[in-house]
A = this chain, B = another copy of it.
């Protein structure tokens, strides 16, 4: 089912390092592993590599070899394609809650 995708997406997004990697790619465009690793001074490079493998496996990033470097780029659609519809349920609910408040205020205005 579609829930499968949501599951793996949320799981991969649960880790702050992985989210920061995505944020870096979103902000700067494609980066190689060393450039990314430079942003995590208290993490060893192989650790970053492992996270990148996770991101690749779920299709959130794409890697292209350039000489001896791997250039990672963001696949934003893989994030939004699943998250946006999921979130819309809550957007709707929040909007409805706001509307209920408006109604209540109105009824309060006209008293009774």
Contacts and interface: CB of A to CB of B under 8 A. Distances in A.
A93 interface: yes
B87 A83 contact: yes
B79 A90 contact: yes
Q: Tell me what chain A mostly uses at the interface: helix, strand, loop, or mixed.
A: helix
Contacts of A99: none
A7 to B, nearest CB: 6
A39 interface: no
Interface string A84-101: 100101110110010000
Given A10-B10, A76-B94, A89 B23 contact: yes
Contact of A87 (B10, B11, B16, B79): B79
A79 B26 CA distance: 22
A83 B85 CA distance: 12
A73 to B, nearest CB: 9
